[in-house]
Structures are given as C-alpha cells and as structure tokens.
Amino acid sequence: MSTQQTLQTLRGLKLTGMANAYEQQLSLPGTNDLSFEERFELLVGSESTAREDRRLTRHLRLAKFRLQAYLEDLDYRSHRGLQKSQVASLASCEWIHKHQNLCITGATGTGKTYLACALGMQACRSGLSVRYHRLPRLLDALRIARGDGSYPRLSTGLARADLLILDDWGLQKPAATERNDLLELLEDRYGNRATCVTSQMPVQNWHEHLGEPTVADAILDRLLHNAHKVQLTGESMRKKNQNLD
C-alpha cells in the first residue's frame, strides 16, 4: 500500500488525527531516527488528542453558554464570598458525577452567570454534556414546544444532559403551567443528572416566589436536597470594571 493509499484509508476510517500526524511525520527528516514503537505512540497520541478536541468542540456547541468563562480567570480578590477550596471541589465535577445540584445566589453583577458558565466549561473539558438556558426563555420554549409537538424531543434533551444550568431563576413569577413544566423537568433529572441554578433571590424566598405551596414543596425538594450552595456578595463586578475604564 502506498503512502497516499494509507492516508486515504486512515481518513476513510475517520482517523484524521492519526492521518495528519502521519503526514507530518513524512515531512520531518528526524522522524526516521525514531523507532517504530515511538512513531506509533505519536500517531496514537495525536488521534486521541484530535478526538478529545472534537468532543470538546461538540460539547461547547451544544451547551450554548451565555459567556465564555474559565475557572482559571475567577477573581478571588473582590471579597465576593468565593472560597478557593469550594471552587476546587466543584471543579473536580464529582458533584456532577454524583447527580447533585448547585445553587448560586447573589445580587446582580456579582458573577453568578460567569461562575456557572465556568463550571459548565470545566464539565465540558471533562467530557460531560452541558446545556445552558436562561430559565425565562426555557419556560417559553417549553410552552411553545407543547403546542408544536416538539415537547418530547426538547424534554428528553434536557433530561439527558449531564449538567443543566438554569440561569436567572426567580426573575418573574411562574404561571401554573410553568410551575408544572419546571417540576416535570426537575423530576426527570432528580437523582439522575446534576442541575445548577443561579438567582438574585435568596433561597429562603423561593417557596413564596413559586406560589402554589404543594408544587413549590415538590420543586424545592428535588432542587435543594443535597444541593451545594454558593452565595456571592459584594458590589457589582460590572460597576467595578466600569470604574477601571
């Protein structure tokens, strides 16, 4: 088999990382000094890296994060209540693997969405599937999906994501149908997947905000049981950044 045939075969088998690495080896004169085992290890390593990169790209595309955020860029100097030990524990993604939840609360501008997206990014890096949604828009989408017949597909996708981020919890009081949709969503995920919620509203006010006591009890039981909690404090990061301009 010729070199070109080998490259075509590798790409036909969708081993593009290995094919590209093999092509690169052919163009480097020093490659002939390596043993067969060393060259083969390089090819396998390149294929593994290429697959990880493609998987990460796919996860990020499906996640649709509101912000491009990274845990490495978190600001611990602004006295926001962020604890490095807690962030490090959450960064391990063990809570996601254990199907636990996370509630991030704090005033507007304190970095709730950034932290949630950064943890979501870390989950994607770890090979986990993530979906980001602003809760008001998601509830609208669920209502529309019930009308056009796409509800089963949408609800199944939400239920299967390893981590579901619900941003802006509590911005508007939910209607009865929205409470039921929220309960059904959390019921599908409870004990099976992890959910992260961000809210300007303190947790102790969530029950009253949800309205109907019986449904509120059911929603909060599934959301808050064994949930990790991060409460961000301090001034708005947006105001601080404007002051630096």
CA–CA gap between residue 62 and residue 132 (Å, rounded): 9
CB atoms within 10 A of CB 111: 24
What's the pTM? Answer: 0.79
pLDDT band at 140 (very low <50, low <70, confident <90, very high): very high
CA–CA gap between residue 64 and residue 42 (Å, rounded): 33
Please write the tens of the pLDDT for every residue from 95-131: 999 999 999 999 988 899 999 999 999 999 999 999 9
What's the start-to-end Cα distance of the chain, in Å? 62
Please write the tens of the pLDDT for every residue from 171-218: 888 999 999 999 999 999 999 999 999 999 999 999 999 988 999 999
Please write the tens of the pLDDT for every residue from 54-91: 777 887 898 999 999 999 999 887 767 888 999 999 99
Q: What is the pLDDT of residue 242?
A: 47
Domains of the chain: 3-62 (no CATH), 64-244 (3.40.50.300)
CA–CA gap between residue 245 and residue 243 (Å, rounded): 6
Q: How far is CA 133 from CA 63, 120, 139, 168, 184, in A?
A: 9, 12, 10, 9, 16
